Amino acid sequence: MPDNPEGVDLVEVGPRDGFQSENRILPTSNKKEVIQGLLESGLREIQAASFVNPEKVPQLADAEELLAALPHSEGIAYTVLTLNAKGVERALGSPADRIEISLSLSDAHSRRNTGMSREQALREGQEMLAMCRRAGRAARISLQCAFGSEMDGPVPARLVREAVLRLAGTGAEEIVLADTSGLADPPAVEELVTILREAAPGVVPALHLHDTRGLGLANALRALQLGVKRFDTAVGGMGGCPFLPGAAGNIPTEDTAYLCSRLGRDSGIDLRRLVEVTRHLEALYGKVFPARIRSGTLPQE
């Protein structure tokens, strides 16, 4: 993971979470252009693809081709998302720098997303983590719907704690609390971050926030106040979940970077260059994305 002790690390998930949420399938060459622009804007960790069923997520069917086409150099980390052991096997055969093992704490969402119950997904997640460790590959764990889902309501805090304990015991180094449905609020962020830290003090905490109810940046602010330094964000505020109707996009990378800058926390992002990437994406998709920081709202130099 990037060493940024005095700042904030933003993990760009637009090329995965964002692209999978759009109906149009971008050619690999366009994806490479966008990722190159993200690198030029200062982002150093990018979730470039996922190794999932291409029939269910055709927007990301070119994962192997894209990873092979991207520039690889020291200081840049490409992560890929996986949902089962088969996905990890594919990821281990790719040049991905880190493998994200994603499982859902919502039983209904887990069954729809992976065909596994919550308990089955947790056991498989432990085996997936063990596969990565045996292969000597870096991995992170994301707990989808940690704050609940519209499908089956809140997730009891005790289940979050149990999952954290089991995954930390399997060797997890980073655990991402993912608000997949966008139901979190600042008190819930405080509760789950505290649970994560108490249950697994040696594990790096991170947050993956969606803005379904307009509290995305408020939740990020509370997490920053609690000392969390790693956040998944998406350029332009792209994103959603194909298996959770109504879920809004991720907190925008440019808005989060601007918030951090106003708090004196360095994210290493060139906002003007990043806004150009969003404008390029808007041209590709023929739509306007929800990020508030745009050319006209940037502070004068």
* Catalytic residue numbers, as ranges: 241
Of the chain, the end-to-end C-alpha distance in Å amounts to 31
Q: Under a CB-based contact definition with an 8 Å cutoff, are residues 104 and 180 in contact? A: yes
Strands 77-82 and 45-51: parallel
Please state the three-class secondary structure of the chain as a single string.
CCCCCCCCEEEECHHHHHHHHCCCCCCHHHHHHHHHHHHHCCCCEEEEEEECCCCCCHHHCCHHHHHHHCCCCCCCEEEEEECCHHHHHHHHCCCCCEEEEEEECCHHHHHHHHCCCHHHHHHHHHHHHHHHHHCCCEEEEEEECCCCECCCECCCHHHHHHHHHHHHHCCCCEEEEEECCCCCCHHHHHHHHHHHHHHCCCCEEEEEEECCCCCHHHHHHHHHHCCCCEEEEEHHHCCCCCCCCCCCCECEHHHHHHHHHHCCCCCCCCHHHHHHHHHHHHHHHCCCCCCCCCHHHCCCC
Distance CA 301, CA 290 (A): 24
Contact partners, residue 24, CB within 8 Å, separation at least 6: 284, 285
